[in-house]
Structure formats: C-alpha cells, structure tokens
C-alpha cells in the first residue's frame, strides 16, 4: 500500500472500529516505507486535530450531507482537502489524483466522480473557503479549531475567550519533546553533550535545570543514553508536579495511580534513591512498566503492585510523608498528543470522572500522616475535575489545607494543560 492508502485504512479503523489513535498510528507506521513515515504521521495527526474544520469545508462544496456519505468517501475527502488546505508541499493535482485513485478501490464509480468533483472545486476555490464569524464565538472557535461544541461551550464558561482560543490553538500544534535528566547518573550539561554525539540536539529547559528540550524529533529506540537510563521522556508540566511535591531523602511516599511510573521515578531521583516509594496501579499489566522504568534508571526504592486507588489499604493509614494522586481524568490538557480525545470523550464522562476523583482523593488522604503532604494533579483543564474536586474535599476534610494551586493552560516551553494542587495535613 502507498502512504495515502495506509492513512485511509487507519482513519477507518479509528472511526469505525474504535481503534486507539496512537496504537493505530504506530501499527500503520510499520507498514509504511521509512521515507513515508513522516508524511503518514503528519497527515494522521492533522486530520484528527482538524476533523471538524475539514467537514465544514466539505459541506461548502458538497450537495450530499456528511451523514449520507460512507466512511470511506468521507475520509478520502478529508485526506484530499487536508493536503490542499493545510499543507504547502503537496500539489493540489497530486492530492486530487491520489484521492480519486483511492476512490476506485474503496468507493463505487459514482462516488469516485463525486469525490473528484468536490476536490477539484475545493482546489479552484481554496482562497474563498469561509468559517463562522467571530460574532458567534462558540461556533467560530468550535469549527476553526475543531473542538466539539459541548467542550467549546464548557471552556468558554470557565475561561476568558482569549484563554480558550490560545489553549485551542496550542492543542492543535505539535509540542516540543521534553526529557527529564536522571540526576542519579548524569547532569544536564553532560547529557546535552552525550545526546549531541547521538545526533540529538537539546537545550536546558527554562522551567527546570533537570529537564531538556529536544530540537526536532527523537527515537529512544536508537538512543544508547536512553537505554543506559540517563534520561526519561516526561512532559515538563508533569515534572513540575513532582517538583511541587518536593520529596525528601529518606521519606515514605505513596503514588496510588502510578502507571506508567514517570512521577514515581522522578520522585525517586529527587530523593537520591533514598527512602521508600509504594507505587500502585489498577491494571496488572502496567506494573511491569513501572518496574522496567525503575530498573533502567537504576532506582531500587520503588515497590510496584496492583491496587485499585479507591480501595483503602488499612496498613498504610497515617503512614506516608507524601502521597501522589495523579487522578484519571478526561485528558483535555493533552489533546496535542492525543487528538482523538476530542471525539471519543463525551460530555457525560466529566461528571462520572469527577465522582471517581472524589473517591480517590478521599482514599489517598487517609494515607497522609499528620504534617504530611497530599499532591493532587490531572492532565485536564476542566474545573469540575480540578478546583471543584479540591473545594469539595477541603470542605469535608478540615484537617487539610491548600498550600498551592496551579492551573497550566498553555505554555511556550512544551507544557501540557495540567492542574497541580499541593495540600498539607495540619
């Protein structure tokens, strides 16, 4: 299969069979020629991030409603229009001709003629494509940045229009890769030079002396420094949460929703591998992820085991110096790397998630000893999952008080949307 056919089949798998975007993309890249993998990745992310805008363009040039089109026809049109409207390096003629070729294999003859007509009409009128006016702000933002209307309305009810638009724009852009330096084995200046010898350009993050920002792409499978445990991939927002926790050498710390182990391992590194960390996750197969990461990094103070975070473990009540609760959430803050969240997350999910988060924080708080710290964090920006959960918890648990709260919306240094709240048990 050529690259466009690989993309088309992947889009069908995601939309019709419920395939996870990143997993389908990964599988698709194995079937693509090495020279085509960048093209496949760019278009798959681009269509996932701009699907609503692409459908809006289709409807400007089609007499057939979207719901009347087969998934194959719809995705061939999205594929062709994305190349013409969002990419500079693909000639319009190539985008049209290759789409028509796909239609011969995945659509009947009449649909092929329809696809050809729509795409050539789009090509002729590419400068005349219109979007909703700003007067209808919600509709304008929803279509321009391809966010579902329910989510757009919710964000506008919680943040200013400028904040919402900035967040949406950042969510549609690729973010730079951040690395966490393993201070047990190296330093940031040393790692910069080591990576340079591997052909990887990086620089010190302005937000932390323990993190590097990579210029361009990085393949950890080809990195000896990664295999040797000199660094880990971790978003800077996630690492900022661990820094906020401020773990100390010799402490007993619990991470009750730990997979894949990034925060547990970062905590152990800050503790100079001295103390004890218990890391739990509800999924048995994810325990290996935590254990393998710790082993690669030279960490031996982490014990990982299976446990539902809502299930209280009596033997640890009032025992922990610090507890990390990286709560399961809607993931709205990481749409930039998981664009399918826009289309798989439903409005009714939010209340259900907030109820789970309230159960988890109640259980987690029981492990904190007097004078200890409870850290609550999520990779979402919705207040129902963040401030509302904390306000409810603090109202019902007067022995805890908030030390700090931080809501990260966007950032120029690769930050994801993230919420961090540090609380102390008085």
Residues serving a catalytic function are: 379
Helices (H) and strands (E) in the chain, counts: 18, 11
Distance, CA of 48 to CA of 1 (rounded, Å) = 21
Name the strands in the sheet holding 201-204, side by side, starting at the edge strand that comes first in the sequence. Answer: 201-204, 211-215, 178-181, 231-233
Pairing state of beta strands 252-255 and 276-281?
A: parallel
The pair of three-digit structure tokens given for residue 409, joined into one six-digit string: 């919306």
Three-state SS sequence of 95-118: HHHHHHHHHHHHCCHHHHHHHHHH
Distance, CA of 9 to CA of 14 (rounded, Å) = 9
Distance, CA of 81 to CA of 87 (rounded, Å) = 9
The pair of three-digit structure tokens given for residue 91, joined into one six-digit string: 């000639």
The pair of three-digit structure tokens given for residue 225, joined into one six-digit string: 């420094």
At 165 the three-state DSSP class reads: helix
Distance, CA of 153 to CA of 105 (rounded, Å) = 40
Nearest to 166 by CA among 420, 419, 412, 387: 412
Residue 317 — left, alpha, or beta (φ > 0 → left; ψ -120 to 50 → alpha)? beta
Distance, CA of 186 to CA of 363 (rounded, Å) = 37
Q: For residue 322, which phi and psi values (nearest 5 degrees)?
A: -145, 145
Q: What is the gyration radius of the CA atoms in the chain, in angstroms? A: 24
Distance, CA of 21 to CA of 24 (rounded, Å) = 5
Pairing state of beta strands 201-204 and 211-215?
A: antiparallel
E strand or H helix at 304: strand 302-306
Contact 365, 322 (CB under 8 A): no
What are the E-state strand segments in 234-275? 252-255
Q: What are the beta bridge partners of residue 201? A: 215
């Amino acid at each position: 299969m050529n690259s466009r056919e690989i993309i088309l089949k992947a889009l069908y798998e995601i939309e019709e069979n419920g395939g996870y975007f990143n997993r389908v993309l990964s599988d698709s890249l194995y079937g693509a020629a090495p020279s085509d993998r960048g093209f496949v990745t760019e278009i798959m992310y681009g269509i996932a991030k701009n699907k609503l805008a692409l459908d809006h363009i289709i409807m400007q040039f089609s007499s057939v409603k979207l719901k009347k089109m087969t998934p194959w026809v719809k995705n061939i049109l999205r594929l062709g229009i994305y190349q013409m409207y969002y990419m500079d390096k693909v000639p319009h003629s190539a985008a049209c001709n290759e789409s028509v070729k796909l239609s011969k294999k995945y659509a009947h003859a009449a649909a092929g003629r329809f696809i050809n007509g729509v795409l050539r009409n789009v090509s002729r009128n590419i400068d005349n494509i219109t979007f909703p006016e700003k007067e209808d702000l919600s509709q304008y933002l929803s279509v321009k940045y391809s966010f579902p209307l329910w989510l757009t309305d919710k964000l506008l009810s919680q943040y200013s229009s400028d904040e919402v638009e900035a967040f949406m724009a950042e969510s549609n852009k690729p973010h730079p890769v951040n690395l966490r330096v393993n201070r047990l084995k190296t330093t940031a200046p040393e790692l910069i030079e080591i990576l340079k010898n591997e052909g990887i350009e990086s620089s010190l993050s302005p937000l932390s002396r323990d993190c590097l920002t990579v210029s361009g792409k990085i393949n950890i499978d080809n990195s000896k420094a990664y295999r040797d445990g000199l660094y880990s991939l971790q978003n800077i927002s996630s690492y900022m949460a661990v820094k906020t926790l401020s773990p100390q050498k010799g402490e007993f710390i619990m991470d009750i929703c730990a997979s894949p182990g990034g925060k547990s391992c970062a905590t152990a590194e800050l503790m100079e591998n001295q103390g004890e960390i218990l890391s739990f996750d509800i999924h048995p197969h994810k325990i290996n992820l935590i254990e393998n990461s710790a082993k690669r990094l030279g960490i031996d103070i982490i014990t990982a085991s299976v446990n539902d975070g809502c299930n209280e473990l009596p033997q640890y009540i009032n025992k922990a110096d610090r507890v990390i609760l990286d709560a399961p959430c809607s993931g709205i803050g990481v749409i930039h790397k998981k664009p399918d969240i826009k289309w798989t997350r439903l409005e009714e999910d939010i209340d259900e998630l907030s109820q789970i988060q309230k159960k988890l924080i109640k259980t987690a708080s029981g492990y904190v000893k007097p004078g200890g710290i409870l850290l609550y964090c999520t990779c979402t920006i919705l207040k129902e999952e963040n401030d509302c959960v904390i306000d409810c918890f603090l109202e019902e648990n007067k022995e805890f008080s908030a030390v700090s709260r931080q809501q990260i919306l966007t950032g120029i240094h690769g930050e994801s949307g993230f919420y961090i709240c540090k609380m102390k048990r008085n």
